[in-house]
Amino acid sequence: MVKTFKLNTDQTVDRAFKIDYAALLNEQQYEAATQFRGPILCIAGAGSGKTRTLIYRVARMLESGIAPDNILLLTFTRKAASNMLDRVAALVGNEGKAVAGGTYHSFAANILRKYGHYIGLKSSYSIIDEGDAGDIINFLRSELGFNKKESRFPQKKTVAQMFSKANNLEKTVPDIVSAFYPQFEEHSEDIERLHEEFGKYKLNNMLLDYDDLLIYLHRLLSTSDAARTAITTRYRYVMADEYQDTNGLQARITFLLAGENRNIMVVGDDAQSIYSFRGARVTNILEFPQAYPDCRIIRLEENYRSTRPILEAANSLMESAREGFKKTLVTQKGSGDLPACVCCEDEQEQAMFVAARILELREQGIKLNNMAVLFRSSFHAYQLELELKRRNIPYVKWGGFKFLEAGHLKDVISHMRIVQNPYDQVSWLRVLLLIEGIGTHSASEIFKHIRFAQNPYDLSTVKARAKAEKGLQQLSKMLASASSLVNSPPARLLEIVADYYFPILKERFDDYPRRFKDIDQLAIIAGKFATLSDFLTDLALEPPKDSVDEALAPETSEDETLVLSTIHSAKGLEWHSVFVIHALEGRFPSLRSLKSEPELEEERRLMYVAITRAAENLAISYPSQIWDPATGSLLARPSRFIEEIDSNLLEPWQIARQ
Ligand code: ATP
Ligand code: MG
């Protein structure tokens, strides 16, 4: 007779948990956070606790004895991922840090290093960014002779965008050209040809661009049973935040990762979908129940972030939305001040107003790091930045110009990249061009030699002009000692590269002292990584600090720094007081979007995201007129989004100069 042992697997019983989940979460949140098995879709508005639910869910899993290794948390930015895992760690201790978290791209990069060989990918592949892609396209274009065309061929950046759009929308390049770039229709065939060459080039040089990371990950998961089994055995519980901004491929990757475990939870808000220009599909949320007909659908209707007036303004804005599920959020938080709608005379007055008001709020006890200024495009903040500097208000800026786009940092990284992947042509060309006496032509010739050389770092037999000999020798010498460090932590390698590069830098830039400091900064970052490949992957995917300003901001002892951010980079975050600036037709909504209804809708959602970042205090401001030199037009109408919000819900402010 077989005896039956009854094992209670009901995880909803709070027995020995340190955290009182039921008290900290509302009923729906609690359900989502304590059910680990099976598919769950959580669809809910801004500030309703979606991210909080995920954080507590991970904590609960760890407390229930699930190994951190088995959990995968995907989010939209790395900042968001590390932020969430920090919060998990604060709840349950260091185990939280061992959970795998990151963006789809960074996850793909790691998985491909480990399992890429199942689909013939060497683990030493390099990741190229948009700038590198542009350089390669330029190179191929001249190889193909397309630069000699009489009529205007699209610029390298535009071509790179076409390729990426084709990937993200899963369309052919000619389709993309005719749909989005009809002005280049006559070049469609050539562009397609260039696309093929670009693909071959990347393959031959072991280069992956951002889109390739997802494409290869998908290929790995869908074609290699062995790899998929290994991966899904490891990551048994998969979660994705901000699911409304995933594209079609990411959705399919999500399904493959969930695999037979089917322990998958995605959360999102269709009203906050702001990346359709990159192929994000709100429909991923709608289609989730089709992929998993047995999924639990959890809706969160209560907003815990914003005061009633702020939320009412947000709801009112979305009443004019053309599409989407209608959902009106309610808040438990009491009343508060009406959001201010501030008309300023010009850009400068707007900057002065924002700075002065920030100081006023600070006087009232609100810390700078509890305030943020948000804008549609990075350049909208220039004037304000000057004003903040003038008044000594410390700030960081997110979005816009990236730390690593600075030429000197790319130079350093390129040297490190050829140590990792000696066939990385883009990096070689960059490195060779830094040597005196070497131009584009000889650089390509030298690379041909390198590609077939026994030892690619030995440049002694390279034919070059006499003027270049010394430089090549020094490079060769440096690479000889650097190449032995390929499997060591990157800090030492960076030192060697920097020693070699400093004289070049000094020769090239008048402001070299400032640039030296950037490289020091990079060295500090490098010090945090155990392997070169981790370091390079990390940098390529998303610089640890979003912008030069941020990376170089002095580490203040208290966290008293104001945030300036593009709205895209502010996703998922919240502040006590928020300023939305440049709410002006032509700026926000942007000039480009005025002609297309879907784009306008996306701008509206962007405004919704901006407004819903505010907890207590919101000011939307605009200069009453500005001259836009780029288009030669006068912008002089407040944003239509201000007009769409019921006028009783905003308090008009005017500026009286004293
Ligand atoms: P977004 O759509 O902007 O990403 P979200 O739905 O992810 O927002 P969260 O950021 O998780 O929302 O939560 C918003 C705020 O509300 C946070 O400060 C969070 O701690 C708080 N909050 C959420 N749920 C609760 C709750 N049940 N009790 C107390 N505070 C809560
Ligand atoms: Mg969130």
Q: Is the CB of 49 under 6 A from ligand 1?
A: yes
What separation in Å is there between the alpha carbon of 439 and the centre of ligand 2?
49
Nearest to 331 by CA among 615, 633, 32: 615
Q: Which atom of ligand 1 is nearest to the CA of 48?
A: 6
- Which ligand places an atom closest to the C-alpha of 75? 2
Is the pTM value of this prediction over 0.75?
yes
**What is the per-residue pLDDT for 552?**
41
Which among 264, 281, 300 is the end of a domain? Answer: 300
Q: Using a pLDDT cut of 90, give the percent of the chain over it.
A: 56
Does residue 425 sit within a domain? yes
Q: Are both 563 and 422 inside the same structural domain?
A: no
**What is the per-residue pLDDT for 548?**
42
Q: Are both 291 and 323 inside the same structural domain?
A: no
What separation in Å is there between the alpha carbon of 334 and the centre of ligand 1?
16
Q: Which of 304, 307, 327, 575 to mutate to test the pocket of ligand 1 (most atoms within 8 A of CB)?
A: 304
Q: Are both 237 and 336 inside the same structural domain?
A: no
Q: What is the pLDDT of residues 306-321, one digit of tens each?
A: 999 999 999 999 987 7
Nearest to 476 by CA among 464, 488, 487: 464
In this structure, which residue's CA is closest to atom 14 in ligand 1?
47
Q: For residue 487, what is the domain's CATH number?
A: 1.10.486.10
The DSSP H or E segment spanning 277 is none
Does residue 119 sit within a domain? no
**What is the per-residue pLDDT for 10?**
59
What separation in Å is there between the alpha carbon of 613 and the centre of ligand 2?
10
Q: How confident is the model at residue 9 (pLDDT cuts 50, 70, 90)?
A: low
In this structure, which residue's CA is closest to atom 18 in ligand 1?
305
Q: Are both 245 and 106 inside the same structural domain?
A: yes
Q: Using a pLDDT cut of 70, give the percent of the chain over it.
A: 93
The DSSP H or E segment spanning 218 is helix 210-223
- For the beta carbon of residue 267, count every other beta carbon within 10 angstroms: 26
**What is the per-residue pLDDT for 243?**
95
**What is the per-residue pLDDT for 556?**
44
Q: Is the CB of 572 under 6 A from ligand 1?
A: yes
Does residue 166 sit within a domain? yes
**What is the per-residue pLDDT for 555?**
44
What separation in Å is there between the alpha carbon of 586 and the centre of ligand 2?
29
Calculate mean pLDDT across residues 563-573.
Answer: 91
In this structure, which residue's CA is closest to atom 30 in ligand 1?
304
In this structure, which residue's CA is closest to atom 15 in ligand 1?
305
Q: Is the pLDDT of residue 324 over 80?
A: no
Q: Is the CB of 52 under 6 A from ligand 1?
A: yes
Domain count, the chain: 4
Q: Are both 313 and 270 inside the same structural domain?
A: no
Q: How confident is the model at residue 6 (pLDDT cuts 50, 70, 90)?
A: confident
Rounded Cα gap, residues 326 and 321, in angstroms: 9
Q: How confident is the model at residue 428 (pLDDT cuts 50, 70, 90)?
A: very high
Q: What is the pLDDT of residues 48-84, one digit of tens each?
A: 999 999 999 999 999 999 999 999 999 988 778 888 9
**What is the per-residue pLDDT for 405?**
66
Domain that holds residue 145: 126-205
Nearest to 411 by CA among 494, 331, 336: 494
Does residue 16 sit within a domain? no
What separation in Å is there between the alpha carbon of 242 and the centre of ligand 2?
7
Report for 145-149, 200-204, 405-409, 546-550: range of highest mean pLDDT: 200-204
Range in 7-21, 222-236, 242-256 the model is least confident about: 7-21
**What is the per-residue pLDDT for 83?**
86
**What is the per-residue pLDDT for 401?**
53
- Higher pLDDT residue, 99 or 524? 99
**What is the per-residue pLDDT for 382?**
85
Does residue 1 sit within a domain? no
Does residue 210 sit within a domain? no
Q: What is the pLDDT of residues 571-587, one digit of tens each?
A: 999 999 999 999 999 99
- Which ligand places an atom closest to the C-alpha of 53? 1
Q: Is the CB of 51 under 6 A from ligand 1?
A: yes
* Helix pair 407-420, 425-433: axis angle to 10 deg: 130
Rounded Cα gap, residues 551 and 265, in angstroms: 34
Does residue 13 sit within a domain? no
Rounded Cα gap, residues 20 and 24, in angstroms: 6
Q: For residue 263, what is the domain's CATH number?
A: 3.40.50.300
Q: Is the pLDDT of residue 360 over 60?
A: yes
Q: Are both 233 and 261 inside the same structural domain?
A: yes
Q: What is the pLDDT of residues 101-142, one digit of tens each?
A: 889 999 999 999 999 999 999 888 889 888 889 889 988 988
Which residues are catalytically annotated? 50-51, 241-242, 272, 613
Q: Which atom of ligand 1 is nearest to the CA of 573?
A: 3
Q: What is the pLDDT of residues 149-202, one digit of tens each?
A: 667 888 888 899 999 999 988 899 999 999 888 889 999 999 999 999 999 999
Q: Is the pLDDT of residue 13 over 60?
A: no
3-class DSSP assignment, residue 472: helix
**What is the per-residue pLDDT for 466?**
81
- For the beta carbon of residue 595, count every other beta carbon within 10 angstroms: 8
Rounded Cα gap, residues 623 and 635, in angstroms: 9
Q: Are both 131 and 176 inside the same structural domain?
A: yes
Range in 464-468, 572-576, 619-623 the model is least confident about: 464-468
**What is the per-residue pLDDT for 551?**
42
- Higher pLDDT residue, 438 or 579? 579
Q: How confident is the model at residue 511 (pLDDT cuts 50, 70, 90)?
A: confident
Range in 281-290, 326-335, 457-466, 579-588 the model is least confident about: 326-335
Calculate mean pLDDT across residues 485-508.
Answer: 91
Does residue 11 sit within a domain? no
- Which ligand places an atom closest to the C-alpha of 269? 1
